Amino acid sequence: QKEVEQNSGPLSVPEGAIASLNCTYSDRGSQSFFWYRQYSGKSPELIMFIYSNGDKEDGRFTAQLNKASQYVSLLIRDSQPSDSATYLCAVRGPDSWGKFQFGAGTQVVVTP
Amino acid sequence: GAGVSQSPSNKVTEKGKDVELRCDPISGHTALYWYRQRLGQGLEFLIYFQGNSAPDKSGLPSDRFSAERTGESVSTLTIQRTQQEDSAVYLCASSANEKLFFGSGTQLSVL
């Protein structure tokens, strides 16, 4: 079992719709959760992070965390063609020096 | 510089040659990671340095791979006797707190 799991996609989303991405993790002691966006041929860039159960909103992005169920999700509202990218879920281990573990990523394609 | 710097940006080598990849982390960042990303694939963890602690080498795929870091500064990833399956983008990232910042990567092509 991989430590961080994501659906590979591609997830096809009409422009203006909501894209919903999910991620599950195996280490129940994980404390920090991140979403990175990676455009084709580019490096990953941080778009959201969340530490506490519940929702965290930043512009069109909302991260949701449920530690009891060990999943974290990302919602992209009003999806734009520029949101077309691979979204990587990352989880950091329980201690202060916990290692970042990445999922394989979900490819999102926003169609005009 | 302001970001994580990697060099070279591209490296083409012949099978069997050794290569050395360099990473300059953001100043003050205590943690440094190396990842490998094959075309169309996710990030494959290679090695993790945290301050002066012993590095976590659990992701190195074989003894042909090694990495060093001098204090909290530059790191080098060395691949000996390169094979075609080593062709990939090698990404370095550094962190001082909860956020990880990536360099632009080194595209390695082994012919």
Q: Which DSSP symbol is given to A68?
A: T
pLDDT, tens digit (0-9, with 9 covering 90-100), for A51-87: 988 999 999 999 999 999 999 999 999 999 999 999 9
What would the two tokens of residue A52 be?
Answer: 């506490």
pLDDT, tens digit (0-9, with 9 covering 90-100), for B73-87: 899 999 999 999 999
- What residues of B are in contact with residue A32 (Cβ under 8 Å)? 98
pLDDT, tens digit (0-9, with 9 covering 90-100), for B48-98: 998 888 899 999 999 999 999 988 789 999 999 999 999 999 999 998 777
Which A positions 1-60 lie with beta carbon below 8 A of chain B?
Answer: 32, 34, 42-46, 49, 51
Contact B42 A101 (CB under 8 A): no
d(C-alpha A89, C-alpha A24), whole Å: 9
- What residues of A are in contact with residue B99 (Cβ under 8 Å)? 34, 46, 49
Cα four-point dihedral sign B22, A92, B99, A44: positive
Q: Are A102 and A33 in contact (CB under 8 A)?
A: no
A5 HSE (CA, 13 A, CB side): 9
Amino acid at B95: S
Contact A97 B31 (CB under 8 A): yes
Which A positions 62-101 lie with beta carbon below 8 A of chain B?
Answer: 88, 90, 92, 97, 99-101
- What residues of A are in contact with residue B103 (Cβ under 8 Å)? 43
Burial class (CB in 10 A: 0-12, 13-18, 19+), A109: middle
Q: Give the H or E element holding residue B21.
A: strand B19-24
